[in-house]
Amino acid sequence: MTVVGIGADGWEGIPDTSRAALRDAEVLIGGARQLALLPPECAGERVVWPSPLRPAVPGLLTAHEGRRVAVLASGDPMFYGIGRALVEELGDAPRVLPHPSSVSYAAARAGWPLEDVEVVTLVGRPTARLAAALHDGRRLLVLSADARTPGEVAGLLRERGFGPSRMRVMEQLGGPREHMTGEVSADGWSAAQAPGDPLNIVAVECRRAPDALRLGGVPGLPDDAYEHDGQLTKRHIRAATLAALAPAPGELLWDVGGGSGSIAIEWMRAHPSCRAVTVERDPVRAERITRNADRLGVPSLRVVGAAAPAVLAGLPSPDAVFVGGGLTAPGLLDACWDALPVGGRLVANTVTLESEALLADAYRRHGGELVRLAVAHAVPVGGFTGWRQAMPVTQWAVQKTLNPLPGADNR
């Protein structure tokens, strides 16, 4: 199998090595648009990818096993392309002949050093995920799903307080029909503007409106960033909790007793590949978590509306678990501990004496760190200023190890 990258410039834009592979192939697999770019001298059987594409990959590979297959991909097949699916299915890398990606063309046209640009793809993904990348002064290249994407990007920028951001739409990059719009603010983007070419990238230079809430890149977002009914891990406690959970790229969190979803949301904002499942039995709160996740740029947060611990057995194995509510439910803490692999982390917070007793017992059995977190806020006291103490939070944080405490049940 050979995977050949091709751009909007078609057959004329690919090198001789890629042309030879396409001429030699007995089977040519690709999108209808890509296959139409090939001349008659590429005589192999032409197979159009079905939709949805990913589930069809195993069957197509099996159907053409033993034949010389060339797969067509847009630009660089290993950059948000079909290359990833083929490697995962084959278990090994096929021969890949890349073409410059549309991102490379876009950075060149904009004059932006590629290493200073964040790429966000909205192909097959919700527009809401763009929100996590919005920071004042940041440059973004947004891979569009279709001709409507630029308008959706402008709408999201306005809604999230980034209406002054500058936008340019770049179409058919690298091809004879290449076209770039003039720079316009998201505020100035007309909702009635006619869609352009579906093959486009949106270049965004982020500018936050002066009155917009500032969201940083580390845990501890302002409490006002969340819709909540009071069930919210407050900002300073949240920052300490995320530090103890220590999210790393690709890891999965269970957030048990999600409340407003703040811990799971900020876990996922730590890195684009971080994943989370939040368990919240209250349906009103579960819907609120979904809204918060969309607004803060992590729409892929999975919300499970059911009671723990019964529902936990059906969830994928976690790398870390946070218990923010329901600690007194029979067997909950043990179920979370048993689900953790060696090296996994568990963090539990409480403000009640009854739950604190459970954490003290777990600390005795499994070790870790038991701390009390107290925060006070300055408030007016008559004509002066004094401290108002928030309820102290008891936190147990532990990592599961191969070497249990002497005499402890640290399975």
Summarised one tens digit per residue, pLDDT across range 290-300 is 999 999 999 99
Average pLDDT score over residue span 106-130: 96
Residue 404: its pLDDT value, please? 63
The answer to whether 147 and 200 are in contact (CB under 8 A) is yes
> Can you give the pLDDT at residue 190?
85
Determine if the pTM surpasses 0.75: yes
Please state whether beta strands 69-74 and 2-6 pair in parallel, antiparallel, or not at all (unpaired): parallel
Q: Are 169 and 193 spatial neighbours (Cβ–Cβ below 8 Å)?
A: no
Separation CA 13–CA 34 (nearest Å): 13
| Chain segment 192-243, per-residue pLDDT in tens | 677 899 999 999 999 999 999 999 999 999 999 999 998 899 999 999 999 9
Six token digits for residue 282: 């209250």
Contact residues for 406 (Cβ-Cβ < 8 A; gap 6+): none
Residue written as token pair 């809204």: 291
Tell me the residue type at 130. Answer: L
Q: What is the mean pLDDT of the chain?
A: 94
pLDDT of residue 92: 83
Segment 30-52 mean pLDDT: 93
Task: Identify the pLDDT of residue 1.
Answer: 92
Contact 315, 309 (CB under 8 A): no
Structure tokens at 304: 């499970």
How would residue 61 be classed by pLDDT, with cut points 50, 70 and 90? Answer: confident
**pLDDT band per the 50, 70, 90 thresholds, residue 271:** very high
pLDDT at 115 over 90: yes
Structural domains present in the chain: 2-99 (3.40.1010.10), 103-205 (3.30.950.10), 223-399 (3.40.50.150)
Is residue 410 predicted with pLDDT exceeding 70? no
The model's pLDDT over 151-191, given as tens digits with 9 standing for 90+, comes to 999 999 999 999 999 999 999 999 999 999 999 999 999 87
Question: What gap in Å lies between CA 86 and CA 64, rounded to an integer?
Answer: 14
Per-residue tokens: 316? 């994928």
Of 251, 299, 243, which is closest to residue 273 (Cα–Cα)? 251
CA geometry: angle 222, 293, 376, nearest 5 deg: 25
